[in-house]
Structure 1
Amino acid sequence: MDLKMYDKCKWIDFEVLKDFMIKSLTNVGVPEDQAEIVADVLITSDKRGIDSHGIGRLKPIYIDRIDNGILNPETKVTIIKENKGVAVLDGNNGLGHVVSYKAMNLAIEKAKEYGISMVTVRNSTHYGIAGYYPLMAIKEGMIGITGTNARPSIAPTFGVENMLGTNPFTFGIPTDEEFPFVLDCATSISQRGKIEVYAREGRETPNNWVIDRDGNPMTNSLDILSALTSGKAALNPLGGSGEDGGGYKGYGFATIVEIFSAALQDGKFLKDLSGKDENGDPIPYPLGHFFIVIDPDFFMGRNLFKKIAGTILRSLRESKKSPHEERIYTAGEKEWLAWNLRKDKGCPIPESLELIIKELSQRFSIENPLKDN
């Protein structure tokens, strides 16, 4: 792992940073037990090296939206329908992490009884790192799957208008190794959060990630973020624009996630998730999520499943490498390596985030965790 990118970063102990996030959230009205869930989701992202979805999103995605009145600080979860292995929940425009935590726990309990379960959620909001929820199932020895729609970002194949969200389709699988298999990625080439990281670092976005309304590529990260918000740019789906690179595959998977995130719970979709009313004023993003849990014990047993899954992954990593590469990875391995790097050092904080942390500490009169760094 390249450590040069962290040369100018300060480092904060994870528990100290998590406590700072909890205090910040409670200061804007989030109940402490719910703030604990949100902070745990965010800190898990930072622990796993996914800097796009950790502390960097505390203020702009959550606190700012609470301040603007488009995100309810207290999450009230309503059960719309429940029947054996399935359930439909309503998040009532509260914090997506909280309703999703409840939904995945409910799916886990149902899978223990029925072998497989699915819980869907409507009227939710951004739920953080998608991989957090399959990790909950993995802790119970089970397979976890989740997906969510999001504000329009991806253009359909042969199109230039942002219609679909980045719509991650995420799988978590327990194995007999030190780390599980966790495939957590957007159905676009890359997600908005990575571009936000590039913008904070003053870096350009790769050439084939984003197109403007004329189908031309965009690379200025700050311009892209503004254009995505105004609808003047769109992310390319996995595989890129057109069909030659298989862009229709990413487009298809994004569409599946959109349907599952809306049609199974009578939720909003596509342009209804833009966060703007007819006058252009901000309104809530009523997102939908789904959570699927499979218990291997109902098939051939958890231990056998984990052994075979681990053998498959080891075989892939031990296969013949390109002469230009040092190793082959399997999904979840790099996140495990990031944790092994960060567990003693803490979370890296670039200068742009230092300013946000200072701002929040002054606003809420709480101790700045960076003061001694």
Structure 2
Amino acid sequence: MVQDIKYETFDNLQKFMTLGFKAVGVPEADAKTCARVLIESDKRGIDSHGVGRFKPIYIDRIEIGIQNVVTHPKIVRETKTTAVMDGGNGMGHVIGTQAMQLAIDKAKAYGMGMVAVRNSTHYGIAGYYGLMAAKNDMIGMTGTNARPSIAPTFGVENMLGTNPLTIGFPTDEDFPFMIDAATSITQRGKIEHYARMHKTMPYGWVIDANGDAVTDPDIALKGLVDGTCALAPLGGIGEELAGYKGYDYATVVEILSAALQGGSFLHQLSGFDAAGKRQPYHLGHFFIAIDINAFTDPAAFKKTAGEILRTLRASKKAKGEERIYTGGEKEYLAYLKRSKEGVPLNPAVRQSLTDVRDKYQIDFKFSWE
């Protein structure tokens, strides 16, 4: 089936999302920050975390009252190199940006900085915060817990979030190295993307209550909410493909996103209270910035990093494969392509955008209209 795809520019989408966030009460400066984080995902070809989530994740949660539009993060504990921040269930993009900037500022002064956050909300593409550090000649790391989705190895109950462990650093190439991946075999955003495209998911991403694979994205999304489905950890189902490694890494992120800051964890992040009523997700994050200059000359680090990546890409390729990629390369190539063509939007995403525009009477016309 041929998809009805239309294209929109980065600038237009960012402008519209800014107007949309303002329309539901987000202050202008914060609205710009939220839109900037979201469009970064679309720029890098990561459709699961960009404009496609603008309405169903952020606008809808604001409308039902489980996410605060005004964000006032508070530092509740601090040393020269560390801090604990309470986000007050505000906009996660704003909280995340401020927390990583604080970690960067501490790293500039003392070589390393780490900020742990509690009571936050979904902060968008984790790689955005790694890129913030890389642009400052730093190594950046971040992670976040999330509503339960992953079943432990040999289990079927969704216990852990998709819990990305993200690392980025600068190189002497045109793009930084970046690994921004869930610790599950996939993440909820990709399943949402398959549902929007009305496509069958790959076998082995999701299991049902018996441990059998589910390939219908709509059944999977419903089951992830009501507890009848769960994501497999990175590696896959059981021990044969080392799924326990993804399970343990997800646990690491869960602990670092909850234990340092006295935050919520596991089923406390379900978004429902004991009576089944919707409530804020109370997510936790952590942000680490390491100043390369505290160890070596940044130019020397970038050169070595670049040589390692180029050597990997130049290594012997498997039969039938044209090239080898390194972390962040495909996203950079997507950026070059989309800078010219725009962001591809399917009918469901376009409808979600026009629904917000019409509901809040925003004076805006998309290029596809």
Taking structure 1 as the reference length, the TM-score comes to 0.97
CA contact (8 A) 1:17 1:369 kept: no
CA–CA distance in structure 2, aligned partners of residues 115 and 103 of structure 1: 16
2:186 aligned with 1:187: no
CA–CA distance in structure 1, aligned partners of residues 120 and 350 of structure 2: 29
Partner of 2:268: 272
Partner of 2:13: 17
Shift of 1:367: 3.4
**Paired residue for 2:104, among 100, 105, 108?**
108
**Paired residue for 1:197, among 176, 187, 193?**
193
Deviation per residue, 1:203-239 (Å, 9 max, x gap): 0111100001111110101111011011110000011
CA–CA distance in structure 2, aligned partners of residues 169 and 256 of structure 1: 9
Which secondary structure does the structure 1 equivalent of 2:285 belong to? Answer: strand
Structure-to-structure mapping, 1:210-225, within 5 angstroms: 210-225=206-221
Deviation per residue, 1:290-343 (Å, 9 max, x gap): 000111101111111111110000000000000210000001000000000000
Which secondary structure does the structure 2 equivalent of 1:136 belong to? Answer: helix
**Paired residue for 1:306, among 302, 314, 325?**
302
Partner of 1:325: 321
Deviation per residue, 1:137-180 (Å, 9 max, x gap): 11111110000000000000110000000000000010000111
Partner of 2:222: 226
Partner of 1:35: 31
Q: Aligned AA for 1:237?
A: P
Structure-to-structure mapping, 1:1-373, within 5 angstroms: 8-370=4-366, 372-373=368-369
CA–CA distance in structure 1, aligned partners of residues 146 and 272 of structure 2: 13
Q: Aligned AA for 2:96?
A: S
Which secondary structure does the structure 2 equivalent of 1:164 belong to? Answer: coil
Deviation per residue, 1:236-260 (Å, 9 max, x gap): 0011111110101000100000000
Q: Aligned AA for 2:282?
A: P
CA–CA distance in structure 1, aligned partners of residues 365 and 332 of structure 2: 25
CA–CA distance in structure 2, aligned partners of residues 197 and 224 of structure 1: 12
Shift of 1:368: 4.2
Could you tell me which runs of 5 or more consecutive residues in structure 2 were left unpaired when the two chains were aligned. none
Q: Aligned AA for 1:47?
A: K
CA–CA distance in structure 1, aligned partners of residues 368 and 211 of structure 2: 48
After TM superposition, the runs of 4+ consecutive aligned structure 1 residues lying more than 3 A away are none
Shift of 1:355: 0.9
Shift of 1:8: 2.6
The number of aligned residues is: 369
Q: Aligned AA for 1:68?
A: I
Shift of 1:117: 1.1
CA contact (8 A) 1:166 1:254 kept: yes
Which secondary structure does the structure 1 equivalent of 2:158 belong to? Answer: coil
Which secondary structure does the structure 2 equivalent of 1:182 belong to? Answer: strand
CA–CA distance in structure 2, aligned partners of residues 183 and 299 of structure 1: 22
CA–CA distance in structure 2, aligned partners of residues 144 and 120 of structure 1: 14
Taking structure 2 as the reference length, the TM-score comes to 0.98
CA RMSD of aligned residues (A): 1.1
Q: Aligned AA for 1:87?
A: A
The verdict on how the C-alpha distance between 1:324 and 1:372 changes in structure 2, with shifts beyond 3 A counting, is closer
Shift of 1:371: 5.7
Q: Aligned AA for 1:77?
A: P
CA–CA distance in structure 2, aligned partners of residues 107 and 147 of structure 1: 14
Which secondary structure does the structure 2 equivalent of 1:262 belong to? Answer: coil
- Aligned sequence identity (%): 57
Q: Aligned AA for 2:345?
A: I
CA contact (8 A) 1:20 1:369 kept: no
